[in-house]
Structures are given as C-alpha cells and as structure tokens.
Structure 1
Amino acid sequence: MADGTREDIWPDTTRWTGRIYSDGWRVSEGGTSRVTEPATGEPLAEVGVAAPEDVARAGAGAARAQRAWALAAPLERAEVLLRAARALREHTDVVREWIVRESGGVPAKGDYEIAAGLGQLAQAAGLASLPQGEILTPAVPGQASHAYRVPLGVVAVINPWNAPLLFAMRALAPALVLGNAVLLKPDPHTPVSGGVLVAHLFEEAGLPAGLLHVLPGGAETGRAVVADPHVAMVSFTGSTEAGRAVARTASAGPKRVALELGGKNSIVVLDDADVEAAATAGALSSFGYQGQACVAAGRHLVHADLVEPYTEALLGQARALRVGDPRDHGVALGPVISEHQALRIERIVDESVAAGARVLTGGRRDGLFYPPTVLDRVGRAMPAYREEIFGPVAPVVPFRTDEEAVEIANDTEYGLTAAVHSRSVPRALGVADQLRTGMVHINDVSAKDAPNAPFGGMGASGNGSRVGGTANLEQFTQWRWVTVPEAV
C-alpha cells in the first residue's frame, strides 16, 4: 500500500532482516539464511540463524524471565494473549501474504491458519480462569492437603513448515498463559510466518522481555534447543523420524516431550455411504494444501460395491482442481514445499506404478507443482499403501466387510486420525471404535482440528501427548502437593 498506513510498514524489515528475536532483535552468531518462495524461486527474506551460543543465551534469559512471569496474575497473562489476537486481526493481510508466499498455500489456507491461530489464542486465554488445583483429603484429620499446577519453566517449541503460524500458536499460547517461557524454533522453510511474525505480534501485545525467543535454523539449532539445560519440555511437530531423534536427545535431560508426528490416515467408505459426500470429503482430505498435512488422507478404503462410483466422483473432484501459483485467482493447489518433497512424492508414485498400481489422473509433476493424483490397484506391499506420502495422492483400496476395512485401516504403524462414512451413524461409530487412532470423524474429512479438542495420535503418530483445550493444562504444567500441619 502507498498510503503510509501501519500495515504498510508492519513488520519493519529493517529491524529483523538477518537477525533473531532474543531479548530484542539482534544479530545472531550463526549468520543468515535466505528464504525462497516455492512457487517462483524468488528470494523473500533473509533471517538470522541461531547458533548454539545464541540458544544457550536464550535459554538462560528465558529461565530468568520466567520466574517473574510465573508469579504474574493469570488474567494478566491472558490479557497478553488477547492483545496478540488483536494484533493478528489488525495485520491479517500481511500475515496471509507471508503464509501464501512462504509456504505455497492458497489464500484460503492462509485465512484458515489465521482463524485457527486466533482460536488457539482465545482458547488458551481461557485456561487462565480454570481451577488450577484441588483440595485433597488429609491423612490426618485437621491437617490441610492440596495440590495445584505450577509451570514447567522453559518450553521449547519446534515448529513445522506446513502450518507454521497455527502450530506456533497451538503450543506457545497455552505454554505462556500457564506461566512458562518459550524458545520457538521455526522450520527453515517458513521462519517468517512461523517465527518472525509471531515475535512481532507478541512484541506488539506487550509480552515482557525474555519470555519468547525465536531461534531460526536447521538441525544444529534444533539439537541445541532440545538439549539446552534450561528447557524443561519440548513440544515437537514434524516427521516421525525427526521426532524420534528429538526424543533421544531429550531423554538425556530427562525432559518432558510432546510429539505430534506423521500419519497414514484412512477415509473408510462403507457400502451404505453417500458416495458424492464421501468423495468430496476424500478430495479435501487428500488434496487440500497439496496433501502436506499429518492429518491428510493417505488411503481411501472403499467397499467393493462402491469403488467404481466413488472413484469416478473422486476423479471429478481431482480434475476440477487447478494447479499453479497460489496467488493466481482460481488456483486450488500451489507448489509442494521443496524439491526434496517433490522427489519423495514422485518416488512413491513411480515405485507403486512399477509394482502394479495404476494412475487414473495426475502422476506427473511440473517442477514443484504436483497435480491431484488418484491411484487404484494399490497392493499392500507398495509404497503408496505403506508410506506417508505428504503429497496430493489418493490411493483407493477396496474391501468387502466392515471387519476387513478395520483391519486395513489399522495395518500401519501410525495412528493419528481417520474418517468413516455411512448413512448409519451407529454403524460408523462401531467401526470407529475399532480404529487405533487418536481422532476419528464421522461423515467428514480426516483433516480436522479445533482449539478446544485434544489433538494427537497413537503409535508412530505420537507419544500419547495431546494439545488443545483442557489437555493443555496437563501438557504445560506439573503438579505440586502442599500440606499444612494441624493448627496449634
């Protein structure tokens, strides 16, 4: 904009270019890193890279600042989150633009992240007014015994690239409102929308200095953050492989670790399902944001009697989706995040086709642009059946009985989410009860979350931790038991 309004200058690039946010904006010891737009290959920004020395300084500073923050009135902490939400609303256009250009999502994806981020801030602010403890029955009559929650101290949040703003808010908002300080390490692909902008929002909200440190960087930075002796808990969202490495490093602490990892999620379409509605949900689940979500549908399990009409409906959905620069009007799918990710999708599809799968639409990329792809004749030994694809690929797998559908859906090390489609809700719930997943949705998409709901998975999808709603109380605090002897 040319009118000199606040939106025109926010965030002021002269303050943060080549810098990190750690007790103010300052030059990092780790040099700088260039951020590139996946749709065009153009440079977008240059951010500072946090070296281990930066992390050590941040950890010590966060621990000092946290002590006073833990003593602040809970409603005072909540007010900071509400002011951050107000700042996010004021800067929606700028935040959306960064999400679109940095992550390759369409504007609607940016709007979703902003709305969901606002929801996380509001929900977290509400935690401040909930009961923080309980009165216990004393061992001896006349004594007092009670237990209450206290902050952990310093929480490390390691953020992914696929929903950088949302996932940052999902962890740091409850961590802060419950009295912790935060070290936030955004992914190298999205350090602005997942880090720099977050710092600006909380700076504008008046968060006291030292409570939030944004430490961009790669694996070396991540290891330093996890291993820092001041860090009491690590909240990690990312691949299962990386999550296992985080857990190994954190175990030397030992530290609390919350892992939200990958998924091989199923859309289960029973023989009495509404085919068109199920195919619409299936398309949204597999193709939304190029399939780059842990909750994306990685298998479409369809009753054999419905395979033909379901596949035709799914193909119609896939072929109607336009692929291109996400800033162009009418584009539904932008680029995948990187060449590495494009090669992974390509390998999974090509190896599956070589083993006998059939491409019904899509299957050939143009640079980082991978079209919606539908596969059938997918066997259980094929990569498209077994691996998390993290791309816009929908493998269709037939079944004959409800029991077989359950067996196929559970035939994976993952256990994040699922969807079951049937005109009979009791029947769908009966199938859902047998699925080894942390979440399941009836007659809906697999890719679903809400700020007041416990979000997380089982097996290789996570370590049983949950974020969202009141689950955050257990996640970001610990119990303290206090007794008082009988009064004289």
Structure 2
Amino acid sequence: MTELAPAGVWHNKIFSGGWKAGGAGTIPVTEKATGEVMGSTGCASVADVSAAAAIATDAQQAWAATPGPQRGDILREVARLLDVHRDEIARQIVRETGSIRPKAQLEVKLAIREILEGAALASQPTGMITTSDVKGRHSIARRIPMGVVGVITPWNSPFILAARAIAPALATGNAVLLKPDPQTPVSGGVLYARLFEATGLPDGLFHVLPGGAETGDAMVREPLVNMISFTGSTRVGQVIGAVAGGLLKRASLELGGKNPYIVLDDVDVEAAASAGAWGSFLHQGQVCMSAGRHLVQESIADAYVESLVRRTRALTVGDPSRDDVHLGPLINERQAANVDRIVADSASKGAKILAGGSRDGLFFEPTVMVDVAPQMPAFEEEIFGPVAAVTVFKDDDEAVRLANQNRYGLVAAVASSDLRRAQRIADRLHAGIVHINDQTVMHEVFGPMGGLGLSGNGHNYSTLTNADQFMEWQWVTSREDLPAYSF
C-alpha cells in the first residue's frame, strides 16, 4: 500500500495552494519518547496566513454553490481513505504525541465517525419557510456558510480535534485554514492535507499553516477569516476571545478543565477506582477532560484509595512506539516541570503522595495524592499530567460544593448505584458535560462538547450543534411587486 504522507512530500513545507516553503522557517517534527527528529515542516508567516485567506475566500464561493451531497461525497471518501491508512496515521500519532497505541487507534476511529457525520450534514435541510403578517410577502430563513473558518488545534489529540471542526466546516460550504500546534504539525495537519489532496477537494479550500503564537494571532486578526474554532488552554483562549470580540468575529472556544469525579458511598469501589484511574491517567493525563479531582465520600475513602493506589502501581511507563505500556512521555520538558511543581507545592501544603510522584525526563510516574484540599495547586490548577488528586467529602451537599468550587466547567462525573441520587447531584453541577456512572474522558460526535466558565464560551461540537456553529442565519423575503409607502 502506498504511504499516505511520506516525508519527502511535506519536508520543510506548508500546504497552501500546493506544497511550498513557509515564510517563517521550519518546525522540527520530533518523536516525544526518544527526542529523535523525524523531519520538519514549514512554519507559516503572517504573510502566508493573509495569502491563504485570500485564496480560500475566492475558492469558497464556488464551493458554497456546489450541491451539498457532492460536498458530502468528498468527505465520505476522506473517511474511506482514513480507514485504509489507519495504521500509518496511528503510528504517527504515537510517535509525535507520546500517545499509547490504543489511544491513537481510538483517535483515528473517532475521526472517521466525525467525518462521516460531517458528510451527512451536507445533505440536511438548510432553512425553513417562516410566517409573515403581511399578505403577499414570502419569508424564509436559511443557513449560509460563515465563509473562511480558521481552525487552531492543540497537541494532545491533534487528529480528532481537527476532524471535528474541519468536517462540518467544509460540509456546510466553508473554506478552512488549519493551524496545527507546532509540536504536532504532521498528525495535526499534514495528514489531512494529504487526505484532501487524494480525494480531489477543489484547490484553495483547505490550507495547513503550522506555526506558533504569531501564526495563530495572524489567523485570528485576519479580516478574511470569518470565524475561529479554537481548542486549547484557557490562557490562550482568553486572548483569542478578547481579540475576536473586538473584531466582532465569531469564536468557538473549548478550553481547559479541572474536572470533578464524584464517588458516592453506595458505589462498587473497585469499579469506581478502575474508572477513576482511567480518567486521570489516559494519555498521561494530558486531556482537557481528565479527572482532575477525585471527590470521594469519607465512609469508602480508604477502600477507594487502596484500590486506586494498587491499580496505579501496576501501570507501566515507557516508549509507546516500542513497548506495550500504559503511559508514554509527557509532551515536553516545560510540561513535565509544571507537573513537578504542582505535586511538590501541594505536598508542601499537606497533601500526601501514596504512589508515584517522580519522573525520569519526560516519563512521569502515575501519581496518587490524598488529603488534597482547596487552595492547593493540585485542587485548583489544571495539571495536564498523570496525577489523581483525592479529596474526601461528608455528604452530597459538600460534594456539590467542592465540585463547583472552581472556575472551570467542562466535565463532571458522578458514580453511584442510586441513579436518582446521582441525578440530583448532577443537576446541581456547573459543567457543560455530565456523566453518571462513567469517568470524565469521553468523546462522541453526537453529544454537545463544550464547557462553562473558564472551560469555554458555550459553542459546542456535535451533530446537534454543528450547523449553527459553522453557519449563520439569513432572513430573506420577497414580493411580486414593490409596495406603496407613504413617503
């Protein structure tokens, strides 16, 4: 089988009206577990962003006029090719992000579903006939494309988080400028450029512009970019939101989380600890939906912690591209040092480390901390590392108070054998997503994905919301003749 993305095609290049050199130099592509340099992509300059936006603006008009089912056919072909090349894509995700193989394979599987559901969106009704109180006036409301959509994605799950924006944006008649994170420019961007090249997407509709903060800022400020879809840190999202707001530009922001996993005293403790370990340690905890706080009722706290510690100590850490391990490396030294800081600072304030707590380079041991209290970094801050922070509560009211004692509001989960009790608690939680009898890390295209508070601005990615997110409403009226007015 022909390789989808051989390095010779993309080496030192961006994708914008074809493969060409970027105006801001190059970006190394590294294997996170070993530090090996796998190649380099181009780095897009401010001028590259403006040129891409101009090309995309021209191409988008013809694309919007293309019948929706034909747009959907191209996306369905992308999904087919993605399935053909799923092993190659998963390998790239493992090497470039430090993900374990099962997580990378799941990311590809989820991306296929996102693209297929995006393709289906292209065949859906785009408007409705509305009523009017004036005889002879024909009134409709229709959805029209935004125009050019700028998509800025993070490094932790670059393939799936690009798919969920690219697919519905293209399906609804938009052009797309994609800026993958400079730590994952191939799995976050190059692979999609190659897929769309292979399926015959019209030239100029899709651009891959790897780069850092300057590239992203240029995309947000570019007048020809009509919307920004951003997934990433709250700190960066606040800046993007402020700039986009000043420009009266739509910005869809899914940001960080400090997600509570509430474990009630009537639960199966072993099952709850297993779910909690998965929620905190999947992808080394580098997921915005990770279980950031384990809130456990006091009567079962000792049993829960014992099970959690036992499971944690059984996990292996290593190179996911060469070994069968549970956890791979953290993304870079800065992130590893930050996890170190949060663990050490919390321990100095009274939290106890019962498992893990140290690292070898980028390989951080899965860590369990107990006696974690409000005002400690492990309670307050998004860690983005493999740390399970346990806080004990007495009753349901305290569980809700602790869960909501945070400015984030992405995901919350409640584990209980009493569904009515769990639902009463869930109804009081400040979160855009709530799971009962599951952990916090869950991704499906069918349910709205988005957060409250510092976790986002309420725009969601899903089959339910994508049409409204990537299109805007237009009201159109018509009459047989001009009416008579009194002026």
| Fold match (TM-score > 0.5) | yes
Deviation at 1:139, TM superposition (A): 2.1
Aligned to 2:475: 481
Instruction: Map Cα deviations across residues 254-286 of structure 1 (whole Å, 9 max, x no partner).
Output: 210000000000110111111111111100100
Deviation at 1:13, TM superposition (A): 2.1
From 149, 155, 177, the counterpart of 1:155: 149
1:6 is aligned to 2:11: no
Aligned to 1:130: 124
**SS at 2:136's partner residue?**
coil
* 1:395-410 aligned within 5 A: 395-410=389-404
What one-letter code is carried by the residue in structure 2 that aligns with 1:366? D
Instruction: Map Cα deviations across residues 306-359 of structure 1 (whole Å, 9 max, x no partner).
Output: 100100111121111100001233301000000010001000000000111100
Aligned to 1:233: 227
What one-letter code is carried by the residue in structure 2 that aligns with 1:250? A
Q: Structure 1: how far apart are the matches of 2:105 and 2:57?
A: 34
What one-letter code is carried by the residue in structure 1 that aligns with 2:175? A
* 1:202-281 aligned within 5 A: 202-281=196-275
Aligned to 1:333: 327
Q: Structure 2: how far apart are the matches of 1:13 and 1:359?
A: 44
From 11, 23, 27, the counterpart of 2:21: 27
Identity among equivalent positions (%) equals 51
* Unaligned residue ranges in structure 2 (runs of 5+): 483-487
**SS at 1:289's partner residue?**
helix
Q: Structure 1: how far apart are the matches of 2:133 and 2:142?
A: 18
Q: Is the 8 A contact 1:235 1:258 kept in 2?
A: yes
Instruction: Map Cα deviations across residues 220-248 of structure 1 (whole Å, 9 max, x no partner).
Output: 11111111110110000000000011112
Aligned to 1:464: 458
Deviation at 1:180, TM superposition (A): 0.3
What one-letter code is carried by the residue in structure 2 that aligns with 1:6? T
**SS at 2:28's partner residue?**
strand
The aligned length equals 482
What one-letter code is carried by the residue in structure 1 that aligns with 2:380? R
Q: TM-score normalized by structure 2?
A: 0.98
1:323 is aligned to 2:317: yes
Instruction: Map Cα deviations across residues 114-165 of structure 1 (whole Å, 9 max, x no partner).
Output: 0010010011111112221111111213321110100000000001000000
Runs of 4+, deviation exceeding 4 Å: none
Deviation at 1:381, TM superposition (A): 1.4
Q: Structure 2: how far apart are the matches of 1:328 and 1:319?
A: 21
**SS at 1:139's partner residue?**
coil
Q: Structure 2: how far apart are the matches of 1:443 and 1:277?
A: 10
Deviation at 1:470, TM superposition (A): 2.2
**SS at 1:155's partner residue?**
strand
* Unaligned residue ranges in structure 1 (runs of 5+): none
Aligned to 1:49: 43
Aligned to 2:298: 304
Aligned to 1:424: 418
Deviation at 1:252, TM superposition (A): 3.1
What one-letter code is carried by the residue in structure 2 that aligns with 1:150? I
What one-letter code is carried by the residue in structure 2 that aligns with 1:82? R
Aligned to 1:61: 55
Q: Structure 2: how far apart are the matches of 1:178 and 1:375?
A: 47
**SS at 1:374's partner residue?**
strand
From 383, 391, 401, the counterpart of 1:389: 383
* 1:276-295 aligned within 5 A: 276-295=270-289
**SS at 1:414's partner residue?**
coil
1:197 is aligned to 2:207: no
Aligned to 1:434: 428
Q: Structure 2: how far apart are the matches of 1:328 and 1:32?
A: 28
Q: Is the 8 A contact 1:127 1:470 kept in 2?
A: no
Q: Structure 1: how far apart are the matches of 2:420 and 2:330?
A: 38
Q: Is the 8 A contact 1:359 1:373 kept in 2?
A: yes
* 1:47-196 aligned within 5 A: 47-196=41-190
What one-letter code is carried by the residue in structure 2 that aligns with 1:280? S
Deviation at 1:487, TM superposition (A): 6.8
Q: Structure 2: how far apart are the matches of 1:133 and 1:424?
A: 43
Deviation at 1:486, TM superposition (A): 4.8
Aligned to 1:342: 336
Q: Is the 8 A contact 1:143 1:487 kept in 2?
A: no
Q: Structure 1: how far apart are the matches of 2:456 and 2:234?
A: 8
